Amino acid sequence: MIRKLFKIGDKSSNTAPSAPKHPTPEQTPYQMMGGAEAVRQLSDRFYDIMEQAPEASELLAIHPQPMDSIRERFYEFLSGWLGGPGLFEQKYGHPRLRARHLPFKIDDEMRDQWMFCMNRALDIEIDTPLLREQLRQAFSQLADHMRNQPPA
């Protein structure tokens, strides 16, 4: 999915070899962010915000505690989704995100709480404005796709 959103692998998005400000076939969002450490920081920040922000209380309530294993799985998913090593796929197979989340009621409110946490995490962890906005768009599309309840 991230390949399509960022046109990774699309030769029409090639740019000059100087450091691009957006993902290219030669440089994925994973690489632009700084690799594994930066992806781990984004993942951890996302869950730190979820645990601390009252705006995400309903979202936090559907997560089993402690969240160590969920944090790890989210990091592994993001690694591959952002164009890095497919850690999640190596351990668990295809993410099948919608199917894995069907047991949970994901409506507009839940999607908005998830995006609240992700937007805050992106604002803190991603320094490059263009990359931050591209990731925000990609995460927004992903969050919309995860809804499994009709609009209120």
* Whole-number Å distance between alpha carbons of 29 and 22: 8
Answer whether residue 13 shows pLDDT above 70: no
- 44-98: per-residue pLDDT in tens? 999 999 999 999 999 999 999 999 999 999 999 999 999 999 999 999 999 998 8
| Nearest partner of 133 among 29, 53, 47, judged by Cα | 29
Dist CA 101 CA 148 (whole Å): 9
Structure tokens given for 120: 């805050």
Structure tokens at 129: 């404005």
Q: What is the pLDDT of residue 11?
A: 44
Give exposure, 73-95, as e/b (b: 16+ Cβ within 10 Å).
Answer: bbbbbbbbbbbbeebbeeeeeeb
Q: Measured between alpha carbons, how far is 25 from 10 in angstroms, rounded to an integer?
A: 7
Q: How far is the C-alpha of 110 from the C-alpha of 131, rounded, in Å?
A: 25
CATH topology of domain 29-146: Globin-like (1.10.490)
pTM to 2 decimals? 0.84
Report how far Cα 97 is from the mean position of its chain's Cα atoms. Answer: 12
**How confident is the model over 84-136, as pLDDT tens digits?**
999 999 999 999 988 889 899 999 999 999 999 999 999 999 999 999 999 99
Q: At residue 137, does pLDDT exceed 80? A: yes
Peptide bond into 66 cis (omega under 30): yes
